[in-house]
């Protein structure tokens, strides 16, 4: 029955009043006339007139509902956009990158609803995104020089968010890399301070480190001293790991050693092998070919001494910091139940509620310095692309270099222009991505 169907459609959840607006120009549409004409004829009889005036009249309700629907017309769709970039190392933090991309998108799509969701993959800037009270204190760089570093303490959850890069990162030693002698002692100082302020859980973002010491610097800062077979202390740094035969725990800071550890890795690398800490990432930290082989042997030796599986995924992150942390936690608890190694980008996305923000979005825009095969192995681009695919949203990518064929099919890509500041680069890239999306949306209707 036409009128009964009209009533069911008009009162169903498929008609969303918020998506409709009055349309004076619509007048009496064919749909309205088709439904109403039979009723106007039937209302001439007393019986039908009674049905029409009855509040329970199914036919009458149907006609009146069709009249209501016919007076509304869909409004123009405003695209929903989520901007979720990584930081651009040394040039833009992820919050800045998100704002600048959004400014460009707004120029091309002034009616768009834009949500900012700055991202990180466990590298520099992760701790700030996870939040908490900033705590700044003196510590040391990977080269042992005095510096200041900041971590973030969430007192309510008793959780400290710490970037390894804050104290032991590459930027502090970029002019003089220390692949053989660099250590994570400065990061251990931050851990000990956080525990002294009440932290019971340490979220350690591993990306951006300058070290390859297997986390032994952190151990030393917490009172676990690496020793040679003779009992002599072993100097800090990955180049000396082969000399370690024992860890002296007489001065161990047990409360700090007994925290729960969440290690956010931006890679899934094992400790050793072609994709491991030394061979896969040593050259990025200044190691030459001979250094790489020495570090490979040293890290393998450390794993044997500490009884840690060198093939475990993620344990090669940040110069194999998880090796030392795993040994320390097992020393306290007898197992690895208090240590988690998680993909940094996925963890930050969950903390940011990125999946919920992307749900229903039309376009998801991200950015990073360079797109390569590693971009889809624990990095921000891979995590954002996966969520966009699940939400059936189009992906837009801005980067300094985007090799052909690496992005998912249908993704929009814009290479950052040279010769202008990073803010202008990202704003222009955002505008071009918005224009490209508008063209596609117009063609597809």
N- to C-terminal Cα separation, the chain: 33
Query: Residue 93 — very low, low, confident or very high, per pLDDT cuts 50/70/90?
Result: very high
Amino acid 441: pLDDT: 78
Average pLDDT over residues 89-107: 94
Please state, in angstroms and rounded to a whole number, the distance separating the CA atoms of residues 257 and 331. Answer: 9
Average pLDDT over residues 202-229: 97
126-346: CATH number: 3.90.1510.10
Name which residue leads in pLDDT, 341 or 444: 341
Q: Is the pLDDT of residue 362 over 70?
A: yes
User: Hey, where are the domains in the chain?
Assistant: 80-117+353-444, 126-346
Amino acid 70: pLDDT: 38
Name which residue leads in pLDDT, 193 or 49: 193
Tokens at 250, concatenated? 């007489």
CB 206 within 8 A of CB 264: yes
Q: Is the pLDDT of residue 27 over 70?
A: no
Amino acid 119: pLDDT: 96
Amino acid 78: pLDDT: 86
CATH 3.40.50.10350 fits 80-117+353-444, yes or no: yes
Amino acid 444: pLDDT: 59
Q: Is the pLDDT of residue 244 over 50?
A: yes
CA 163 to chain CA centroid, nearest Å: 15
Name which residue leads in pLDDT, 77 or 320: 320
Q: For the chain, what is the mean pLDDT?
A: 86
Amino acid 207: pLDDT: 92
Name which residue leads in pLDDT, 384 or 37: 384
Query: Residue 266 — very low, low, confident or very high, per pLDDT cuts 50/70/90?
Result: confident
The CB density around residue 198, as the number of other CB atoms within 10 Å, is: 11
Q: Is the pLDDT of residue 13 over 70?
A: no
Would you say the C-alpha torsion 211, 213, 219, 224 has a positive or negative sign? negative
Query: Residue 39 — very low, low, confident or very high, per pLDDT cuts 50/70/90?
Result: very low
Q: Is the pLDDT of residue 34 over 50?
A: no
Per DSSP, what are the bridge partners of residue 260?
201
* Percent of residues, the chain, with pLDDT higher than 70: 82
Name which residue leads in pLDDT, 221 or 76: 221
pTM score of the predicted model: 0.79
Average pLDDT over residues 25-37: 37
CB 254 within 8 A of CB 110: no
Q: What is the pLDDT of residues 156-211, one digit of tens each?
A: 999 999 999 999 999 999 899 999 999 999 999 999 999 999 999 999 999 999 99
């Amino acid at each position: 029955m036409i009128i009964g169907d009209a009533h069911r459609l008009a009162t169903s959840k498929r008609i969303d009043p918020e998506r409709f607006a009055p349309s004076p120009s619509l007048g009496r549409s064919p749909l309205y006339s088709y439904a109403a004409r039979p009723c106007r004829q039937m209302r001439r009889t007393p019986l039908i007139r009674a049905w029409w005036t009855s509040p329970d009249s199914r036919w009458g309700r149907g006609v009146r509902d069709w009249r209501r629907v016919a007076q509304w017309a869909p409004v123009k769709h405003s695209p929903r956009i989520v901007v979720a970039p990584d930081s651009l190392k040394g040039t833009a933090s992820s919050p800045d990158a998100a704002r600048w991309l959004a400014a460009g998108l707004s120029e091309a799509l002034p009616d768009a609803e834009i949500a900012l969701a700055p991202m990180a993959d466990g590298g520099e800037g992760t701790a700030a995104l996870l939040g908490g009270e900033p705590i700044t204190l003196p510590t040391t760089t990977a080269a042992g020089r005095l510096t200041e570093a900041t971590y973030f303490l969430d007192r309510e959850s008793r959780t400290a968010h710490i970037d390894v890069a804050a104290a032991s990162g590459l930027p502090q030693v970029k002019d003089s890399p220390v692949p053989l002698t660099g250590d994570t002692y400065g990061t251990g100082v931050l851990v000990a301070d956080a525990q002294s302020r009440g932290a019971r859980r340490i979220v350690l973002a591993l990306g951006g480190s300058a070290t390859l010491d297997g986390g032994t610097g952190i151990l030393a800062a917490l009172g676990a001293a690496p020793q040679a077979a003779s009992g002599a202390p072993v100097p800090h740094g990955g180049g000396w790991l082969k000399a370690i035969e024992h860890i002296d725990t007489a001065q161990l800071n047990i409360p700090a050693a007994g925290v729960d550890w969440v290690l956010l890795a931006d890679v899934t690398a094992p400790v050793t092998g072609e994709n491991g800490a030394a061979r896969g990432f040593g050259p990025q930290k200044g190691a030459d070919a001979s250094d790489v082989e020495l570090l490979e042997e040293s890290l393998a030796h450390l794993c044997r001494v500490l009884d840690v599986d060198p093939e475990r995924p993620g344990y090669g992150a940040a110069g194999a910091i998880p090796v030392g942390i795993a040994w320390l936690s097992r020393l306290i608890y007898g197992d690895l139940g208090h240590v988690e190694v998680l993909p940094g980008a996925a963890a930050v996305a969950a903390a940011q509620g990125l999946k919920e923000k992307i749900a229903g979005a039309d376009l998801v825009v991200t950015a990073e310095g360079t797109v390569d095969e590693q971009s889809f192995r624990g990095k921000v681009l891979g995590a954002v692309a996966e969520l966009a695919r699940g939400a059936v949203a189009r992906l837009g990518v801005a980067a300094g270099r985007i090799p052909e064929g690496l992005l998912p099919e249908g993704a929009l890509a814009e290479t950052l222009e040279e010769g202008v500041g990073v803010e202008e680069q990202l704003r222009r890239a955002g505008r071009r991505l918005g224009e490209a999306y508008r063209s596609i949306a117009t063609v597809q209707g």
